[in-house]
Chains A and B, each alone.
Chain A
Amino acid sequence: DQQVKQNSPSLSVQEGRISILNCDYTNSMFDYFLWYKKYPAEGPTFLISISSIKDKNEDGRFTVFLNKSAKHLSLHIVPSQPGDSAVYFCAARDDKIIFGKGTRLHILP
């Protein structure tokens, strides 16, 4: 039973355009949400997070939006760059951090 769902296994976006990665969750007790980026043969790297008391957090090219009523969050990357090609994991916390299955983002030249 998956509490954090990333329904798109992969996504291709043209360089320079906006990448939007989506994540849904089922547990209304989650109070902190995170996005991680992972390259092959490396560990996940923390990107950005958002507390449940906010609906938006921005850090440079990365913005995370949280819609609590829909139990949905998204990560926007703009403009997308070749180095953004990676697997992106959405994660959420109750008493531990739970990860989705990831979305593989391909940035096309």
Chain B
Amino acid sequence: NAGVMQNPRHLVRRRGQEARLRCSPMKGHSHVYWYRQLPEEGLKFMVYLQKENIIDESGMPKERFSAEFPKEGPSILRIQQVVRGDSAAYFCASSPDTPQYNSPLHFGNGTRLTVT
């Protein structure tokens, strides 16, 4: 009965390094969403992916951020050349259906990225 699995739980990177965050959706779910939560803020939508396709990346910063959800393996959120402002909690969520269906998102426990 595994839920959405995210790893690592905590990630520390120096400025300029790359951060790779992984997300395995719930079994049977083929839709993955990434959200970011800055301190004292709500959850901000970043990107929505289905297997091998980016459906909506309207919330992704234009530079340094990328996401993928390959046919095999977890979804990856990659942040290149991290800066202090990237420090946040990054949450992945999955659902079995497209957004048109009334299926709630199921969230992982997040990856807390700290940039020093």
Task: Assess whether B105 is interfacial by the CB under 8 Å rule.
Answer: yes
For A51, the chain B residues whose CB sits under 8 A away are 102
Interface flag for A42 (CB, 8 Å): yes
Contacts of A95 in B (CB 8 A): 56, 99
Q: What residues on B are CB-neighbors of A97 within 8 Å? A: 33, 45, 99, 105
Q: Take A89-B42, A98-B45 as given contacts and tell me if A43 and B108 are in contact as well, using a CB distance cutoff of 8 Å.
A: yes
B-contact bits for A9-40, CB 8 A (1 contact / 0 none): 00000000000000000000000101010000
Taking CB atoms, residues of chain A closer than 8 Å to B109 are 41-43
> Bound complex: CA of A42 vs CA of B42, how far in Å?
14
Is there contact, CB below 8 Å, between B99 and A43?
no
With known contacts A32-B102, A43-B91, A51-B102, A96–B107 Cβ distance under 8 A: no
List 9 additional A-B contacts (Cβ < 8 Å) besides A43-B107, A49-B102, A95-B99. Answer: A36-B107, A42-B109, A43-B109, A46-B105, A89-B42, A96-B48, A96-B58, A99-B45, A101-B40
- Chain B nearest CB from A56 CB (Å) reads 16
Give the contacting residue for A96; candidates B42, B99, B106, B108; CB below 8 A.
B99
Q: Give the CA-CA distance A95 to B45 in the complex, in Å.
A: 11
Least CB distance from A94 to B in Å reads 8
Most chain A CB neighbours (cut-off 10 Å) among B35, B42, B108: B42
A76 at the interface (CB under 8 A from B): no
Q: How far is the CA of A55 from the CA of B112 in the complex (A)?
A: 37
B25 interface contact, C-beta 8 A: no
Which chain B residue shows the least CB distance to A47?
Answer: B104
B19 contacts A by Cβ under 8 Å: no
B42 and A102: CB pair below 8 A? yes
Q: How far is the CB of A49 from chain B (nearest CB, A)?
A: 6
Q: Are A100 and B42 in contact (CB under 8 A)?
A: yes
The 9 closest A-B pairs by CB, nearest first: A43-B107, A101-B42, A46-B104, A99-B43, A43-B109, A99-B42, A44-B107, A43-B108, A42-B109
The chain A residue sitting closest to B91, CB to CB, is: A43
Q: How far is the CA of A45 from the CA of B43 in the complex (A)?
A: 13
Give the distance to chain B from A25, nearest Cβ to Cβ, in Å. 13
